[in-house]
Structure 1
Amino acid sequence: MTKTAKNKTNTGGRPHSYDPNLVHQIIADGLAGGTPAAKLDASYVKEKLCTEHGVNGTIRKEALEALVDAVHAEIAEAESRALLKALPGGIASSVDAAVAAAGRELLLVVARQHVTSQGIADKACEELRADKRIAQHRVTELEGDLAEEKTARHKIEQERDAVAQQLADLQEELRVARAEIERLGREPAGFDRLLAELRNPANKADIRAVVSDIMATSSPEPAA
Protein backbone atom coordinates (compact mmCIF):
# COMPACT_ATOMS: atom_id res chain seq x y z
CA MET A 1 0.00 0.00 0.00
CA THR A 2 1.36 3.43 -0.95
CA LYS A 3 2.44 5.53 1.99
CA THR A 4 0.69 8.89 1.91
CA ALA A 5 2.29 12.19 2.77
CA LYS A 6 1.94 13.48 6.29
CA ASN A 7 -0.86 16.01 6.72
CA LYS A 8 -1.67 18.02 9.75
CA THR A 9 -5.11 16.95 11.02
CA ASN A 10 -6.87 19.31 13.41
CA THR A 11 -10.08 18.16 15.09
CA GLY A 12 -10.52 21.37 17.07
CA GLY A 13 -11.19 21.66 20.79
CA ARG A 14 -8.56 21.72 23.53
CA PRO A 15 -4.92 21.53 22.27
CA HIS A 16 -3.47 18.03 22.21
CA SER A 17 -0.56 16.97 24.44
CA TYR A 18 1.01 15.55 21.27
CA ASP A 19 1.42 16.51 17.64
CA PRO A 20 -1.59 15.29 15.59
CA ASN A 21 0.82 14.63 12.73
CA LEU A 22 2.27 11.82 14.84
CA VAL A 23 -1.11 10.07 14.72
CA HIS A 24 -1.16 10.40 10.94
CA GLN A 25 2.40 9.04 10.73
CA ILE A 26 1.69 6.07 13.04
CA ILE A 27 -1.38 5.00 11.05
CA ALA A 28 0.32 5.52 7.69
CA ASP A 29 3.34 3.51 8.80
CA GLY A 30 1.09 0.74 10.09
CA LEU A 31 -0.79 0.54 6.79
CA ALA A 32 2.48 0.55 4.87
CA GLY A 33 3.72 -2.29 7.07
CA GLY A 34 0.66 -4.40 6.24
CA THR A 35 -1.26 -3.92 9.47
CA PRO A 36 -5.04 -4.05 8.82
CA ALA A 37 -6.77 -0.71 9.22
CA ALA A 38 -9.16 -2.19 11.80
CA LYS A 39 -6.24 -2.84 14.15
CA LEU A 40 -4.88 0.68 13.82
CA ASP A 41 -7.29 2.02 16.41
CA ALA A 42 -6.92 4.55 19.24
CA SER A 43 -5.37 1.99 21.61
CA TYR A 44 -2.72 1.07 19.02
CA VAL A 45 -1.91 4.71 18.35
CA LYS A 46 -1.77 5.57 22.06
CA GLU A 47 0.70 2.80 22.71
CA LYS A 48 2.90 3.98 19.83
CA LEU A 49 2.74 7.58 21.05
CA CYS A 50 3.90 6.59 24.50
CA THR A 51 6.51 3.95 23.64
CA GLU A 52 8.01 5.25 20.41
CA HIS A 53 7.44 8.99 20.53
CA GLY A 54 7.83 9.63 24.24
CA VAL A 55 4.48 11.33 24.70
CA ASN A 56 3.88 11.89 28.40
CA GLY A 57 0.82 13.16 30.23
CA THR A 58 -2.84 12.34 29.91
CA ILE A 59 -4.16 11.41 26.47
CA ARG A 60 -7.91 11.99 26.23
CA LYS A 61 -9.56 8.88 24.80
CA GLU A 62 -12.45 10.65 23.05
CA ALA A 63 -10.18 13.19 21.37
CA LEU A 64 -7.73 10.51 20.23
CA GLU A 65 -10.52 8.32 18.83
CA ALA A 66 -11.92 11.25 16.85
CA LEU A 67 -8.45 12.07 15.51
CA VAL A 68 -7.81 8.43 14.52
CA ASP A 69 -11.15 8.25 12.67
CA ALA A 70 -10.36 11.49 10.84
CA VAL A 71 -6.93 10.21 9.79
CA HIS A 72 -8.38 6.93 8.48
CA ALA A 73 -10.99 8.84 6.48
CA GLU A 74 -8.35 11.19 5.08
CA ILE A 75 -6.05 8.32 4.04
CA ALA A 76 -8.93 6.37 2.46
CA GLU A 77 -10.02 9.43 0.48
CA ALA A 78 -6.46 10.06 -0.72
CA GLU A 79 -6.10 6.43 -1.84
CA SER A 80 -9.43 6.61 -3.68
CA ARG A 81 -8.36 9.74 -5.54
CA ALA A 82 -5.03 8.14 -6.42
CA LEU A 83 -6.71 5.00 -7.75
CA LEU A 84 -9.12 6.97 -9.90
CA LYS A 85 -6.31 9.17 -11.19
CA ALA A 86 -4.31 6.10 -12.17
CA LEU A 87 -7.05 4.79 -14.47
CA PRO A 88 -6.22 4.90 -18.20
CA GLY A 89 -7.98 7.58 -20.20
CA GLY A 90 -11.45 6.75 -21.43
CA ILE A 91 -12.23 4.21 -18.73
CA ALA A 92 -14.00 6.73 -16.53
CA SER A 93 -16.23 7.85 -19.39
CA SER A 94 -16.90 4.23 -20.34
CA VAL A 95 -17.86 3.42 -16.78
CA ASP A 96 -20.08 6.48 -16.64
CA ALA A 97 -21.78 5.39 -19.88
CA ALA A 98 -22.22 1.84 -18.58
CA VAL A 99 -23.61 3.12 -15.30
CA ALA A 100 -25.95 5.45 -17.17
CA ALA A 101 -27.16 2.58 -19.38
CA ALA A 102 -27.62 0.32 -16.38
CA GLY A 103 -29.43 3.14 -14.60
CA ARG A 104 -31.72 3.60 -17.61
CA GLU A 105 -32.51 -0.12 -17.70
CA LEU A 106 -33.18 -0.06 -13.99
CA LEU A 107 -35.46 2.94 -14.44
CA LEU A 108 -37.34 1.09 -17.20
CA VAL A 109 -37.80 -1.92 -14.93
CA VAL A 110 -39.07 0.33 -12.17
CA ALA A 111 -41.34 2.16 -14.65
CA ARG A 112 -42.85 -1.11 -15.90
CA GLN A 113 -43.42 -2.28 -12.34
CA HIS A 114 -44.95 1.09 -11.57
CA VAL A 115 -47.35 0.84 -14.51
CA THR A 116 -48.36 -2.68 -13.49
CA SER A 117 -48.77 -1.69 -9.87
CA GLN A 118 -50.68 1.43 -10.87
CA GLY A 119 -53.03 -0.67 -13.00
CA ILE A 120 -53.65 -3.04 -10.12
CA ALA A 121 -54.16 -0.11 -7.77
CA ASP A 122 -56.55 1.61 -10.21
CA LYS A 123 -58.56 -1.59 -10.59
CA ALA A 124 -58.74 -2.04 -6.84
CA CYS A 125 -59.81 1.59 -6.42
CA GLU A 126 -62.52 1.20 -9.07
CA GLU A 127 -63.80 -1.92 -7.33
CA LEU A 128 -63.86 -0.03 -4.05
CA ARG A 129 -65.72 2.85 -5.69
CA ALA A 130 -68.24 0.41 -7.16
CA ASP A 131 -68.73 -1.22 -3.77
CA LYS A 132 -69.16 2.23 -2.26
CA ARG A 133 -71.82 3.16 -4.83
CA ILE A 134 -73.69 -0.08 -4.15
CA ALA A 135 -73.47 0.51 -0.41
CA GLN A 136 -74.68 4.10 -0.79
CA HIS A 137 -77.61 2.94 -2.95
CA ARG A 138 -78.50 0.32 -0.37
CA VAL A 139 -78.32 2.91 2.39
CA THR A 140 -80.64 5.18 0.38
CA GLU A 141 -83.11 2.32 -0.06
CA LEU A 142 -82.98 1.50 3.64
CA GLU A 143 -83.49 5.14 4.53
CA GLY A 144 -86.53 5.24 2.20
CA ASP A 145 -87.95 2.08 3.76
CA LEU A 146 -87.36 3.52 7.20
CA ALA A 147 -89.14 6.76 6.26
CA GLU A 148 -92.12 4.82 4.87
CA GLU A 149 -92.24 2.66 7.97
CA LYS A 150 -92.10 5.75 10.15
CA THR A 151 -94.96 7.36 8.20
CA ALA A 152 -97.06 4.19 8.41
CA ARG A 153 -96.37 3.88 12.13
CA HIS A 154 -97.36 7.52 12.65
CA LYS A 155 -100.61 6.95 10.74
CA ILE A 156 -101.38 3.86 12.81
CA GLU A 157 -100.70 5.82 15.98
CA GLN A 158 -103.08 8.58 14.83
CA GLU A 159 -105.81 6.03 14.02
CA ARG A 160 -105.24 4.33 17.36
CA ASP A 161 -105.53 7.66 19.17
CA ALA A 162 -108.74 8.48 17.25
CA VAL A 163 -110.28 5.10 18.13
CA ALA A 164 -109.22 5.54 21.74
CA GLN A 165 -110.87 8.98 21.80
CA GLN A 166 -114.06 7.58 20.27
CA LEU A 167 -114.09 4.81 22.84
CA ALA A 168 -113.58 7.34 25.61
CA ASP A 169 -116.46 9.45 24.25
CA LEU A 170 -118.74 6.38 24.05
CA GLN A 171 -117.79 5.39 27.57
CA GLU A 172 -118.61 8.90 28.77
CA GLU A 173 -121.97 8.83 26.97
CA LEU A 174 -122.69 5.41 28.45
CA ARG A 175 -121.77 6.68 31.90
CA VAL A 176 -124.10 9.68 31.51
CA ALA A 177 -126.91 7.45 30.20
CA ARG A 178 -126.50 5.04 33.10
CA ALA A 179 -126.54 7.92 35.55
CA GLU A 180 -129.73 9.27 33.96
CA ILE A 181 -131.34 5.84 34.05
CA GLU A 182 -130.41 5.44 37.68
CA ARG A 183 -131.78 8.91 38.44
CA LEU A 184 -135.04 8.19 36.64
CA GLY A 185 -135.25 4.85 38.38
CA ARG A 186 -135.05 6.59 41.72
CA GLU A 187 -137.79 9.15 40.83
CA PRO A 188 -141.51 8.22 40.07
CA ALA A 189 -142.66 8.93 36.56
CA GLY A 190 -144.81 12.05 35.91
CA PHE A 191 -147.92 10.05 35.10
CA ASP A 192 -147.45 7.90 38.14
CA ARG A 193 -147.17 11.04 40.25
CA LEU A 194 -150.39 12.40 38.73
CA LEU A 195 -152.28 9.21 39.52
CA ALA A 196 -150.93 9.27 43.00
CA GLU A 197 -152.15 12.84 43.45
CA LEU A 198 -155.61 12.01 42.07
CA ARG A 199 -155.95 9.05 44.38
CA ASN A 200 -154.97 11.07 47.39
CA PRO A 201 -158.17 11.63 49.53
CA ALA A 202 -156.86 14.93 50.74
CA ASN A 203 -157.09 16.30 47.22
CA LYS A 204 -160.66 15.15 46.41
CA ALA A 205 -162.33 18.50 47.22
CA ASP A 206 -159.87 20.41 45.13
CA ILE A 207 -160.23 17.95 42.29
CA ARG A 208 -164.07 18.29 42.32
CA ALA A 209 -163.79 22.06 42.22
CA VAL A 210 -161.45 21.93 39.28
CA VAL A 211 -163.71 19.48 37.43
CA SER A 212 -166.77 21.70 38.07
CA ASP A 213 -164.99 24.72 36.71
CA ILE A 214 -163.94 22.79 33.64
CA MET A 215 -167.48 21.56 33.01
CA ALA A 216 -168.98 24.99 33.56
CA THR A 217 -166.56 26.54 31.19
CA SER A 218 -167.10 23.93 28.53
CA SER A 219 -171.03 23.96 28.73
CA PRO A 220 -172.85 26.03 25.94
CA GLU A 221 -174.74 29.18 27.02
CA PRO A 222 -178.67 29.07 26.69
CA ALA A 223 -180.12 30.84 23.67
CA ALA A 224 -181.65 34.29 24.29
Structure 2
Amino acid sequence: MTRTSERKKQGGRPPSYTQEQVYGVIARLIACGTPSRAIDASMVKQELCSAFGISPTVRPESLQKQVDIVLSDYESDEADALLRSLPEMVTASLDHFMQGAREAFALMVARQNARCQAQANNACEELRAEKRTALWRISELEAEVHRLEKNRQTLISERDHHLAEAEKLREKIRSDDEELNRLRGANELVQLLVSQLQQTGHEDMPRAAESASLQDRSAAKRA
Protein backbone atom coordinates (compact mmCIF):
# COMPACT_ATOMS: atom_id res chain seq x y z
CA MET A 1 0.00 0.00 0.00
CA THR A 2 3.06 2.26 0.30
CA ARG A 3 3.37 3.04 -3.43
CA THR A 4 -0.37 3.75 -3.66
CA SER A 5 -0.30 6.30 -0.85
CA GLU A 6 2.74 8.00 -2.41
CA ARG A 7 0.98 8.64 -5.73
CA LYS A 8 -0.15 12.24 -6.24
CA LYS A 9 -3.79 12.83 -6.99
CA GLN A 10 -4.76 14.19 -10.39
CA GLY A 11 -5.91 17.81 -10.80
CA GLY A 12 -9.58 18.84 -11.02
CA ARG A 13 -12.42 18.28 -8.57
CA PRO A 14 -11.36 16.05 -5.64
CA PRO A 15 -13.02 12.60 -5.75
CA SER A 16 -15.45 11.57 -3.01
CA TYR A 17 -13.31 8.53 -2.23
CA THR A 18 -9.68 7.87 -1.37
CA GLN A 19 -7.09 5.63 -2.92
CA GLU A 20 -6.89 3.73 0.35
CA GLN A 21 -10.61 2.95 0.09
CA VAL A 22 -10.21 1.78 -3.51
CA TYR A 23 -7.21 -0.34 -2.50
CA GLY A 24 -9.18 -1.88 0.38
CA VAL A 25 -12.13 -2.72 -1.86
CA ILE A 26 -9.91 -4.35 -4.48
CA ALA A 27 -7.98 -6.30 -1.84
CA ARG A 28 -11.23 -7.62 -0.36
CA LEU A 29 -12.57 -8.58 -3.82
CA ILE A 30 -9.39 -10.50 -4.64
CA ALA A 31 -9.41 -12.14 -1.21
CA CYS A 32 -12.96 -13.31 -1.91
CA GLY A 33 -11.78 -15.02 -5.10
CA THR A 34 -12.55 -12.38 -7.71
CA PRO A 35 -9.90 -12.51 -10.49
CA SER A 36 -8.02 -9.22 -10.84
CA ARG A 37 -8.75 -9.08 -14.58
CA ALA A 38 -12.51 -9.16 -13.79
CA ILE A 39 -12.40 -6.14 -11.47
CA ASP A 40 -13.54 -2.89 -13.13
CA ALA A 41 -14.84 0.55 -12.15
CA SER A 42 -18.49 -0.56 -11.96
CA MET A 43 -17.70 -3.37 -9.50
CA VAL A 44 -15.51 -1.10 -7.34
CA LYS A 45 -18.11 1.69 -7.41
CA GLN A 46 -20.77 -0.69 -6.15
CA GLU A 47 -18.51 -1.83 -3.28
CA LEU A 48 -17.57 1.76 -2.40
CA CYS A 49 -21.19 2.80 -2.24
CA SER A 50 -22.19 -0.16 -0.04
CA ALA A 51 -19.12 -0.19 2.23
CA PHE A 52 -18.33 3.53 2.63
CA GLY A 53 -21.54 5.25 1.58
CA ILE A 54 -19.90 6.89 -1.41
CA SER A 55 -22.22 8.94 -3.65
CA PRO A 56 -23.43 7.01 -6.71
CA THR A 57 -22.60 10.03 -8.90
CA VAL A 58 -18.98 8.92 -9.11
CA ARG A 59 -17.80 9.02 -12.73
CA PRO A 60 -16.72 5.57 -13.98
CA GLU A 61 -14.04 7.09 -16.24
CA SER A 62 -12.08 8.73 -13.43
CA LEU A 63 -12.65 5.77 -11.11
CA GLN A 64 -11.35 3.33 -13.74
CA LYS A 65 -8.01 5.17 -13.78
CA GLN A 66 -7.73 4.74 -10.02
CA VAL A 67 -8.72 1.08 -10.30
CA ASP A 68 -6.00 0.45 -12.88
CA ILE A 69 -3.39 2.16 -10.69
CA VAL A 70 -4.44 0.27 -7.56
CA LEU A 71 -4.55 -3.08 -9.39
CA SER A 72 -1.03 -2.51 -10.67
CA ASP A 73 0.19 -1.60 -7.18
CA TYR A 74 -1.65 -4.53 -5.60
CA GLU A 75 -0.15 -7.03 -8.02
CA SER A 76 3.30 -5.53 -7.46
CA ASP A 77 2.87 -5.69 -3.67
CA GLU A 78 1.63 -9.27 -3.94
CA ALA A 79 4.64 -10.24 -6.06
CA ASP A 80 7.02 -8.63 -3.56
CA ALA A 81 5.33 -10.45 -0.69
CA LEU A 82 5.57 -13.78 -2.50
CA LEU A 83 9.27 -13.24 -3.20
CA ARG A 84 9.93 -12.33 0.44
CA SER A 85 8.17 -15.51 1.52
CA LEU A 86 10.66 -17.71 -0.32
CA PRO A 87 13.11 -19.58 1.93
CA GLU A 88 16.64 -18.19 1.93
CA MET A 89 17.96 -21.45 0.44
CA VAL A 90 15.61 -21.14 -2.51
CA THR A 91 16.59 -17.52 -3.02
CA ALA A 92 20.28 -18.46 -2.97
CA SER A 93 19.66 -21.26 -5.47
CA LEU A 94 17.78 -18.87 -7.72
CA ASP A 95 20.59 -16.33 -7.49
CA HIS A 96 23.11 -19.02 -8.42
CA PHE A 97 20.93 -20.22 -11.29
CA MET A 98 20.39 -16.67 -12.55
CA GLN A 99 24.11 -16.00 -12.35
CA GLY A 100 24.79 -19.10 -14.45
CA ALA A 101 22.01 -18.22 -16.87
CA ARG A 102 23.35 -14.69 -17.10
CA GLU A 103 26.85 -15.94 -17.87
CA ALA A 104 25.51 -18.40 -20.47
CA PHE A 105 23.43 -15.70 -22.08
CA ALA A 106 26.34 -13.26 -22.01
CA LEU A 107 28.60 -15.90 -23.61
CA MET A 108 26.03 -16.52 -26.35
CA VAL A 109 25.79 -12.78 -27.01
CA ALA A 110 29.59 -12.49 -26.99
CA ARG A 111 29.95 -15.30 -29.55
CA GLN A 112 27.30 -13.77 -31.76
CA ASN A 113 29.03 -10.41 -31.44
CA ALA A 114 32.37 -12.01 -32.39
CA ARG A 115 30.80 -13.58 -35.50
CA CYS A 116 29.19 -10.30 -36.47
CA GLN A 117 32.47 -8.46 -35.89
CA ALA A 118 34.36 -10.98 -38.04
CA GLN A 119 31.78 -10.63 -40.81
CA ALA A 120 31.99 -6.85 -40.55
CA ASN A 121 35.80 -6.98 -40.70
CA ASN A 122 35.67 -9.23 -43.78
CA ALA A 123 33.19 -6.92 -45.45
CA CYS A 124 35.37 -3.90 -44.63
CA GLU A 125 38.45 -5.65 -46.00
CA GLU A 126 36.60 -6.49 -49.22
CA LEU A 127 35.52 -2.87 -49.54
CA ARG A 128 39.08 -1.68 -48.92
CA ALA A 129 40.35 -4.11 -51.57
CA GLU A 130 37.74 -2.85 -54.03
CA LYS A 131 38.75 0.71 -53.21
CA ARG A 132 42.44 -0.07 -53.83
CA THR A 133 41.55 -1.70 -57.15
CA ALA A 134 39.42 1.28 -58.13
CA LEU A 135 42.20 3.75 -57.21
CA TRP A 136 44.73 1.72 -59.17
CA ARG A 137 42.41 1.65 -62.18
CA ILE A 138 41.85 5.40 -61.88
CA SER A 139 45.62 6.01 -61.87
CA GLU A 140 45.93 3.81 -64.97
CA LEU A 141 43.21 5.74 -66.77
CA GLU A 142 44.75 9.07 -65.78
CA ALA A 143 48.12 7.90 -67.13
CA GLU A 144 46.43 6.81 -70.36
CA VAL A 145 44.70 10.17 -70.65
CA HIS A 146 48.05 11.92 -70.12
CA ARG A 147 49.67 9.74 -72.78
CA LEU A 148 46.87 10.39 -75.27
CA GLU A 149 47.04 14.11 -74.59
CA LYS A 150 50.79 14.04 -75.16
CA ASN A 151 50.27 12.11 -78.40
CA ARG A 152 47.62 14.62 -79.44
CA GLN A 153 50.02 17.50 -78.90
CA THR A 154 52.69 15.65 -80.86
CA LEU A 155 50.25 15.02 -83.72
CA ILE A 156 49.23 18.68 -83.71
CA SER A 157 52.89 19.73 -83.89
CA GLU A 158 53.54 17.26 -86.71
CA ARG A 159 50.44 18.46 -88.55
CA ASP A 160 51.53 22.09 -88.28
CA HIS A 161 55.03 21.15 -89.44
CA HIS A 162 53.67 19.22 -92.42
CA LEU A 163 51.34 22.08 -93.32
CA ALA A 164 54.28 24.49 -93.26
CA GLU A 165 56.35 22.11 -95.39
CA ALA A 166 53.46 21.74 -97.84
CA GLU A 167 53.18 25.53 -98.10
CA LYS A 168 56.92 25.76 -98.79
CA LEU A 169 56.57 23.09 -101.50
CA ARG A 170 53.63 24.94 -103.07
CA GLU A 171 55.69 28.14 -103.06
CA LYS A 172 58.63 26.33 -104.68
CA ILE A 173 56.29 24.84 -107.30
CA ARG A 174 54.99 28.31 -108.12
CA SER A 175 58.58 29.59 -108.39
CA ASP A 176 59.59 26.62 -110.56
CA ASP A 177 56.55 27.17 -112.79
CA GLU A 178 57.57 30.81 -113.27
CA GLU A 179 61.14 29.79 -114.05
CA LEU A 180 59.90 27.13 -116.47
CA ASN A 181 57.68 29.65 -118.21
CA ARG A 182 60.62 32.02 -118.48
CA LEU A 183 62.82 29.31 -119.96
CA ARG A 184 60.06 28.34 -122.37
CA GLY A 185 59.84 31.96 -123.49
CA ALA A 186 63.61 32.13 -124.02
CA ASN A 187 63.54 28.87 -125.95
CA GLU A 188 60.78 30.20 -128.15
CA LEU A 189 62.90 33.26 -128.88
CA VAL A 190 65.85 31.08 -129.83
CA GLN A 191 63.62 29.02 -132.09
CA LEU A 192 62.33 32.22 -133.66
CA LEU A 193 65.87 33.50 -134.20
CA VAL A 194 66.93 30.26 -135.83
CA SER A 195 63.88 30.38 -138.07
CA GLN A 196 64.62 33.95 -139.11
CA LEU A 197 68.24 33.12 -139.82
CA GLN A 198 67.17 30.26 -142.01
CA GLN A 199 64.81 32.52 -143.93
CA THR A 200 66.92 35.66 -144.38
CA GLY A 201 70.41 34.23 -144.69
CA HIS A 202 73.65 35.47 -143.18
CA GLU A 203 73.32 39.09 -144.34
CA ASP A 204 70.43 39.67 -141.93
CA MET A 205 72.11 37.95 -138.96
CA PRO A 206 73.12 41.15 -137.09
CA ARG A 207 69.60 42.57 -137.32
CA ALA A 208 67.97 39.29 -136.27
CA ALA A 209 70.41 38.95 -133.40
CA GLU A 210 69.58 42.46 -132.24
CA SER A 211 65.84 41.72 -132.47
CA ALA A 212 66.25 38.48 -130.52
CA SER A 213 68.29 40.28 -127.87
CA LEU A 214 65.57 42.89 -127.42
CA GLN A 215 62.87 40.23 -127.11
CA ASP A 216 65.00 38.27 -124.65
CA ARG A 217 65.42 41.30 -122.41
CA SER A 218 61.72 42.00 -122.61
CA ALA A 219 60.90 38.41 -121.59
CA ALA A 220 63.39 38.63 -118.71
CA LYS A 221 61.66 41.76 -117.42
CA ARG A 222 58.29 40.04 -117.53
CA ALA A 223 59.70 37.11 -115.54
Aligned-partner residue type, residue 86 of structure 1? S
**Can you list the C-alpha shifts for 1:160-196, whole angstroms capped at 9, x where unaligned?**
122223334444565677789999x9xxx9999x628
Aligned-partner residue type, residue 88 of structure 2? G
**Can you list the C-alpha shifts for 1:126-167, whole angstroms capped at 9, x where unaligned?**
233223222222222222122111111221122112222333
Counterpart of 2:158 in structure 1 is: 159
Aligned-partner residue type, residue 117 of structure 2? Q
Distance 1:19 1:29 in 2: 16
Determine what percentage of the aligned residue pairs are the same residue: 32
Which of 189, 195, 202 aligns to 2:211? It is: 195
Distance 2:43 2:159 in 1: 103
**Can you list the C-alpha shifts for 1:56-85, whole angstroms capped at 9, x where unaligned?**
445272x32332222112211211121111
Stretch of structure 1 that moved more, 36-45 or 166-175: 166-175
Q: Is the 8 A contact 2:30 2:36 kept in 1?
A: yes
| SS of residue matched to 1:90 | helix
Counterpart of 1:82 in structure 2 is: 81
Aligned-partner residue type, residue 120 of structure 1? Q
| SS of residue matched to 2:88 | coil
Counterpart of 1:67 in structure 2 is: 66
Which of 12, 16, 19 aligns to 2:17? It is: 19
Aligned-partner residue type, residue 15 of structure 2? S
* TM-score relative to the length of structure 1: 0.66
- What is the CA-CA distance between 1:22 and the residue it aligns to? 2.9
Counterpart of 1:150 in structure 2 is: 149
Aligned-partner residue type, residue 16 of structure 1? P
Q: Is the 8 A contact 1:18 1:55 kept in 2?
A: yes
Q: Is the 8 A contact 2:45 2:58 kept in 1?
A: no
Counterpart of 1:92 in structure 2 is: 91
Where does the alignment leave 5 or more consecutive residues of structure 2 unmatched?
194-209, 215-223
Stretch of structure 1 that moved more, 100-109 or 19-28: 19-28
Counterpart of 2:55 in structure 1 is: 55
Evaluate the alpha carbon distance shift between residue 175 and residue 197 of structure 1 in structure 2; reply closer, same or farther with a 3 A threshold. Answer: closer
Evaluate the alpha carbon distance shift between residue 181 and residue 101 of structure 1 in structure 2; reply closer, same or farther with a 3 A threshold. Answer: same
Aligned-partner residue type, residue 17 of structure 1? P
